[in-house]
Each structure stands twice: as C-alpha cells, then as structure tokens.
Structure 1
C-alpha cells in the first residue's frame, strides 16, 4: 500500500501541512534517528509498565500494613488498570488533536511523579485515589506509541521498532516486580514505590531527550461521534468479539496468578522473603522473546493453529503450579509466562488482520478488554484466595483458560471476512 498523507483539516500552529508531510522522509533502520527512537520507546515501555506493576509483589504487605483483605489489596493494581483501559479508548483520539509527543510526555512524566507521591500517602484511600489517577495518565503512552511508530517509522523498519517497544514493556513489567521486592527488603514498601517512581522519572527524561519530533503528524479535529461509530462497527463482527474476549481472559488469568503467588510463597510451607519472591519474577524474561518467536511461527503455521496450543500449554503450567514444590511452581510460572506473551501476540496481531477499517479503534477495543481483564479477574482472584486459598485461584484461572481455549477453537473455524 503506498505511503500517502491523510487529507486533513488545517493544522495547528507549528505543525506540518499535508503537502509538507508527503515530502518528509520516514525514519529508517540504520539511521541515528531510528536509534534514538528505539532508545526512547524502550525506556518509555520500561517506565510505563514498571510504574503500573510495581505494586504487585507488595500486595501482601498492603494487607498487613493497612489491614485490608487480598481482594481489597488487589485494587492497587485493578483500579489503575481499569482507569487506563477506559481512557485508552479516547487517548489516541485526543492525540489526533494535540499531537503524539506531547500526550506521551505528559503521560510518562506525570505518572512517574504520582508514583513518588504514592509512597508518601498516609492512608489506604489516598493511596488508591492516586493510583487510579495514575492509570488515567498512563493511558497516554500505550494508546499513542503505536500510532507514532506507524506514522514516523518506515514500514520496512516499523516491525523492529515495535518489537523493541514491546520488549521494553516486558522488561518494565519484570523490573517493576523484581526491584520492588528487593527494595522492600532494604527499606519497606514506601522506599520500594518511591524508588520505582525515580526510575520512571529517569526513563521519562531519556524518552524526552531521545524521541524525535513528529514530522508526519497533521492535526485533525477531535471527533467523538466517528470514534463511537468505528467501535460499533467492530463490535458487530463476531470474530473480533471473540478476540476481545481472548484478551480479557488471557490478561485476567496472567495477572491473577502473579497477584496472589506472593501470598502463597510468603506463607508456609515456603516462607520465602520478599526479595526472593521478587527474584522469582525474573521468569518474566522468558516472555520477552516469546512474542517474536511465536509471531514467526504464526507466519509458518498460522494463528488459527497456534493460539489454542498456547492456551492448552498455559493450562499445563497451571497444573504444575498446583504442586507444593518450588521447582514445579517456578516451572509452571515460566511456562504460563512464555505462552501468555505468545498468545497475546497472536490475538493482538489477529485483531489488526481481522479489522477491515479503523484498525486503531479495533486495537483500542482489544487493549480495553485486555486491561479490563486484569482489573476484573484480578480483583475476583482476591475473593477466590480468601475463600479457598491457592486452590480457589487455580479454579478461577482454570475456568478462564478453559473458556479462552474454547474461544481459540472457535476462532480456528472462523471464515475470512469478505472485502469491503
């Protein structure tokens, strides 16, 4: 498909016209601009997901510190992910009017600052309010990053750039969990969260200094009516609805396991320290490369064949985690992490191929479902833990994965849509 500028309304002051955009070269691999762009988004991915997930290994600490149940403690993650899911639906549209880079800069700097403020909150209610606000602000980066890369990076180099951003996101998710556990042992949960906030600010500065300005962005009016029409169009497609459900169930299952494994490993018969529990999360590393590996396998074997295989393997990993043996538990976590990232890459890329128009809005709906799964299933997992311990968590996650497996089998029999 040829690279053409979008017909657009008059630009904002200081922004390019459509004619100028069509003559501006794209960022390509091998150039200094490409290197700076990749460094910027790698750091942005680290910042965003470290700031979001840093509370996960601290949930048992919150239960003890504030006298709240595991379900209430999980709100420290469920509230910001829910807020982020909702706001991502409109954040990309807002960036169409005010610009990509400004939205992303505000997102990273403000959310890092709020994380530091969270470490100073005296009460649980104030802490949760700031975490919810943080979710609103965090939505600006993942919602806009894909659009920036698609606009500014040449198509033959954009896949590599996107892969590095996703790798940074996975690295951030791991660092947020591991460093928090280590810092918790040194100076308590306030030092842990404050330290992650400082890390986020440092990454935000690198992002600001390295990210090139938009050269192909042309402002367009904020049109919420058209946005709603695009959402409605995608929701009428049964195949996309199944894919959105897959995102909900995948992320819900994955986050629930990570939310409550800390409670299990800190208690008898394991009685591990917070630092050791945090180090167990280094199995997250296996997920960093799995999306690329499974994506390549999909080109060879097809998404229809691979998605249900990944889900079946996740059920196998869940079975390993039910055994009261640390090696089996760690192996199960690693298998689930590998297959989760692989299945997520299959489902998210399938959304882009299935959507026949307004693909950005289709991706937004998938991400909305994805993060709402984290919020809703993650919170329900606390009730399952309180009711039946790890067995309750296993039954909940197992039910989600079985439903996702049925969806994967249903998707394997879907017929391609006719062209518009």
Structure 2
C-alpha cells in the first residue's frame, strides 16, 4: 500500500509539472512575437499587447467560477477539460487572420487555463493529505517557470524564422506534448468530497475563503509579490536599452532566462517548507526578493542581472510556499474556492502592480520604483509574521507548525 501511495504521488507530481508547463507556455505564447503581430496587422505596440492581457484577464475572471465548479464536477475533470480546450485554441490561433477574433480567442484561452491554475493546489491538498505537499507544489511552480521561459524562448526563435504564426504553432506543439502527458498521468480523485450543484453553499465557500483571516497572508503575498515581479520585468527592458547601459534589444530579451532561477528555488523552497515550516521559508523568499531589488540599484550590468536572478528566485520561492499553504489553511469544503481566490489575487496583482510600477518608474525613475516595490514586499511579509494562530474549530488542516511536525 505504501508503494502504491508513493507511485501515485510521483504520478501526480509529473502530471502537474507537465500541466503547469503547458499552461504557462500557452498563456504567454504571443509575448515574444508581438513585434511580428504589430507589423502584420499594422497596429501600435500597445494594441498588440492586448493579446497577452486578454489571456491573463480571462484567467483572473474565470479562476473563482472554475474553482467553485471543481467542488461539484471533480477537480481532475475540470483540469483536464480546461487544458484540452486551451490547447485546442492554441492550435487554432495560427490560422486566424482577424485581430479582434484573436483577442477574443485569447480571452477564452486564458479562462480555460484557469481550470488548472485555480484547482491544482486544492487537488494536491486533497490527494496528498498534506504529505510532502511543499515538495509537490514546488515542482508545480517549477513547471510554471519552465513553461513561461520555454514558451517565450521557443516562440521568439520560431517567430524569427516563420513569423507570428510559426511562433504560436511551435508553442502549441510543445504544449500539446505536455497536455498528453498530463491527461495520461493525472490520477482520478480518491479523497475529494463533491458537493451538489447548489449555488448557496458554493457561494458560501467563496465568502468563507475571501473572509478567512488565516488566508490573508498568502493572498497578500500573491497580490503584492506578483505585482512587484511583473513591474520589474515590464520596466527592466526600458532600463537596459536606454543609456547609459544601451544594451541591444535582442540581448536585453535574454533577461527572461532569469526565470531559470525560479525553477530551482520554487522546488527547493517546497522541500525546505516541508522540513522547516512554511512561515520561515516564505519570509526568506520575500527577503531574498528585496535583496535582489537592492542589487539592481547598481549601475553595472552584471550586478543588475545578478540582482534580477536573486529577485526572481526569491519571488518564486515565496510564491511556491504561499500557494501550497492555501490548500492546507482552507477548510476542506472551500479548498477549490480558496485556491481560486489565490489565483485571483495573483493575477489581479499582476495587472494592477504592472501598471503602478510603470507609473512609479516614469515619475521617480528606477530608484523610486524600487522603493515602492520594496514597500509592497515588506507589507506582504507583515501578516505572515503575525499569522501565528490556530485554525478555527472544525477546520481539517492543523495549524502550520503542527502540520510540519506531523509531516516530519
């Protein structure tokens, strides 16, 4: 029986690694070929950026509904159907020559991938029972970093040779392989207790997740951490190509390789959280991100890129721990909604933080933006420091320290 459980956990880890890779490759597929879109459709850069924004907007809007429906129809079914739909749209996009339709399809595709993003943490909490959850969630987040980086690089390289259609087709092919692996490997649920399709208790679960004080720390980490992360990557390209650095744009784009640091630290943070507890590892991740911001204040290109790697690694370490923590802190009847709320905070923070970070950069330069982002990360850390409290009566998950002790 023990061997069967271990094999099942391995399958879950591999499946969610593949699913995360497909999710983020598809979500950001248009980003590296936006210049080709602008040239092909004779559009301004800001307009072509709608292809990326539509995907993340769709994900943010659909996260809570799909997380809620997973309580009724089953988490595996929602995740599989969602990824299959997203991949089908990914294969269709290279053949669409009407820009408004492309944007509409991207909105639907973003909503589809929300079926994995919003449900994965709840599925893991149910099916692993908290056993090595940090390690498993760390591998899932590692898959998101690999997908985000590989999709951008593959799409950009293919786009240079075959235009935007070739770039999107290449990413869809990569995601298709990962989607097949995900469907074949992901085990059916054994432990989820499904609810009837009654809106009152489902909406009660949404309200419970939104108002639970224990969930506020990871939600704030998601919103403020992701807002800081997107702001840095949105603005960094401008800083690199402008004097005094004057880096060629093609080389500046290689800054996305810093995502590799997130692949390593997200998996490592998960294992450390299982051993030492989630709170100290999460705080260490946020502190590392602040250190990276401070390093990027330097004027030397090598120091700036080193800071970017440190910042990226710290952010993904914190995100890995916070996202897995949600599944343990939420009550079993609202895990799907709590996971969806985390995704809403994460992508809502991305949208708002990216804009505000750009505004801060335009008004006060890189140093001023760094001060703003540093304050956000400190604000995210404060409720984590103050989160020592027991779960309410009736909640299934023990208080985090007790959970860690039982796992060790």
Pairwise TM-score range, normalised by the shorter structure: 0.7 to 0.9
Q: Which residue of 2 aligns with 1:17?
A: none
Change (3 A) 1:371 1:199: same
> Which runs of no fewer than 5 residues in structure 1 stay unpaired?
1-23
Size of the aligned set, in residue pairs, is 390
Question: In structure 2, what is the equivalent of residue 16 of structure 1?
Answer: none
What does 1:4-403 correspond to in 2, within 5 Å?
27-29=4-6, 31=7, 33-59=8-34, 66-70=42-46, 72-153=47-128, 156=131, 160-216=135-191, 219-238=194-213, 240-265=215-240, 269-272=245-248, 274=250, 276-298=251-273, 303-305=278-280, 307-352=282-327, 354-355=329-330, 358-381=334-357, 387=362, 392=365, 395-396=368-369, 398-403=371-376
Does 279-288 or 72-81 show the bigger shift? 72-81
> SS at the partner of 2:5?
coil
Q: Deviations for 1:36-55, whole angstroms, at most 9, x for unmatched residues?
A: 44433221111011111233
Counterpart of 1:119 in 2: which secondary structure?
helix
The offset of 1:350, in angstroms, is 4.4
Checking the alignment, whether the CA contact within 8 Å between 1:26 and 1:152 is kept in structure 2 is no
Structure-2 change in CA distance of 1:117 and 1:325 (3 Å): farther
Alignment partner of 1:412 out of 385, 390, 394 = 385
Supply the RMSD in Å over aligned alpha carbons. Answer: 3.4
Q: Is the 8 A contact 1:75 1:379 kept in 2?
A: no
Deviation at 1:316, TM superposition (A): 3.3
Q: Separation in 1 of the partners of 2:370 and 2:92?
A: 33
Q: TM-score, normalised by structure 1?
A: 0.78
Question: Are the counterparts in 2 of residues 179 and 278 from structure 1 also a CA contact under 8 Å?
Answer: no
**Relative to 1, partners in 2 of residues 1:97 and 1:407: Cα closer, same or farther, differing over 3 Å?**
closer
Distance in 2, matches of 1:335 and 1:254, equals: 12
User: If the length of structure 2 is used for normalisation, what is the TM-score?
Assistant: 0.80
**Residue 356 to residue 136, structure 1, CA distance change in 2 (3 Å):** closer
Deviation string 1:369-407 (CA, Å, 9 cap, x unpaired) is: 01111123234556667x46xx65764464143133034
Change (3 A) 1:380 1:45: same
Once the two structures are TM-superposed, the CA of residue 145 in structure 1 deviates from its matched residue by: 2.9
Cα 1:145–1:245 shift into 2, 3 Å: closer
Partner secondary structure for residue 26 of structure 2 = helix
Between stretches 165-174 and 248-257, larger displacement belongs to 165-174
Please say if residues 25 and 175 of structure 2, whose CA atoms lie closer than 8 Å, have aligned partners that are also in contact. yes
Q: Helix, strand or coil for the counterpart of 2:255?
A: helix
- With 80-89 and 258-267 compared, the bigger mean Cα shift is at 258-267
Q: Helix, strand or coil: the match of 2:147?
A: helix
